[in-house]
Amino acid sequence: MLDKQYIIKLLQLSGEKRTKLLQRSKEIKEETVGKKVYFRGLVEFSNICSKDCLYCGIRKSNTNVVRYQATDEEILDACRFAWKNNFASVVLQSGEISSLAFIKRVDGLLKKIKQLSNNELGITLSCGEQSKDTYKRWFESGAHRFLLRIESSNRDLYYKIHPENDKHSFKKRIEALGFLKETGYQVGTGVMVGLPFQTYADLANDLLFFKQLDIDMCGMGPYIEHEDTPLYQYQNQLKTKQERFDLTLNMIAVLRLMMPDINIAAATALQAIDPAGREKALSVGANIIMPNLTPCDYRKEYQLYEDKPCLDEDAELCRNCLEARIELAGSEIGYGEWGDSKHFYKRKS
């Protein structure tokens, strides 16, 4: 088990020693979860959000965003595309809403997605904090993975990037992660890297938090400032984008050493900094990628951060583009396979 001081050292590596770390992570990945990269078709089905996270472009108070809700037909079409193209899994993501109408809607969608794909499509949800009953209901209707990033495992930092109130409670977020595990989901969490006020010790603690929580999946991307958010005022205090990018790759590499058999996503935010960002993550420790299937008209209204890629490319273009990039990077796509977290099955048995 790596200790905190050693993790901090690894996160700070540069030059040749860093290259060695990244190389080791790649080897461990290939030995443990294999060379394949798995697709999760991402459908950002609504940007309506009841929360006001201080970093996020679709926060409730941002009135520059046109709010949308994709229709059932649009969502099901995107899922059908994923199924026909052998993606094997989709991720349904949205702003956080906990009304009964929303809960029912997601429930209905889950059943319809299972139906249209002969029960073949795997479904991951990324719809924020919900009650235990809601998580249970959605699980029974067909969702089997859930993504809920902790954003930062340091309570003080958490409240520097979220308003400190009941709606944004650190305690409730931790509880929600517990509910997800108890319900039986494969649980994914993660953090943003390069946040204002964030230290190397914070990041080391984030990795230890993942280990302690015994997560199945992880998504970590660089923090990218968004002009219409309160955190933008600290833009001059940030590491450069390149530094945030490099540090994110170090985080992925160290996590792969610590938790060799989990699934780690190549976050889309990496590509907002480097055009080959996601492939670079795949050639380090990541093994999951999320091609965007959101209907094109909505994409510009789902900009959590600036320079989000693929705004004009439709599902077909993103698929072709990613396929070419992944093959160029020397990996193979696990078409038609769920590519579930190996860690999850070990933890269950």
Name the segment binding ligand 5AD (CB under 6 A); options: 61-69, 75-83, 216-224, 308-316.
216-224
By three-state DSSP, how is residue 108 classified? Answer: helix
Q: Which of residues 253-272 bind ligand 5AD (CB under 6 A)?
A: 269
Among 113, 310, 326, 333, binds ligand FES (CB under 6 A): 310
Q: How many residues sit close enough to ligand FES to count as binding (CB under 6 A)?
A: 8
Q: Which of 169, 234, 162 is nearest to 197 (CA)?
A: 234
CB of 340 to ligand FES, least distance (A): 23
Determine the Cα–Cα distance for residues 163 and 149; give it in Å rounded to an integer: 17
**Residue type at 224?**
I
Letters for 221-240 (x = contact with ligand 5AD by CB under 6 A, - = none) are x-xx-x--------------
Q: Are 308 and 273 in contact (CB under 8 A)?
A: no
By a kind-dependent CB cut-off of 5 to 8 A, residue 206 interacts, out of ligand 5AD, ligand FES, none, with: none
Determine the Cα–Cα distance for residues 349 and 344; give it in Å rounded to an integer: 9
CB of 74 to ligand FES, least distance (A): 18
Strands 192-193 and 41-46, bridge-based pairing:
unpaired
Among 56, 177, 262, 281, binds ligand 5AD (CB under 6 A): 56
Residue in this structure with the two tokens 């030059």, named with its chain if needed = 15
Determine the Cα–Cα distance for residues 160 and 297; give it in Å rounded to an integer: 33
**Dihedrals phi, psi of 234, to nearest 5 degrees:** -100, 15
Q: Which of 65, 85, 151, 75 is nearest to 110 (CA)?
A: 75
Name the segment binding ligand 5AD (CB under 6 A); options: 69-77, 108-116, 218-226, 273-281.
218-226
CB of 221 to ligand 5AD, least distance (A): 5
Name the segment binding ligand FES (CB under 6 A); options: 26-34, 86-94, 203-211, 312-320.
312-320
Q: Residue numbers of the site for ligand FES (CB under 6 A)?
A: 291-292, 310, 313, 317-318, 321-322
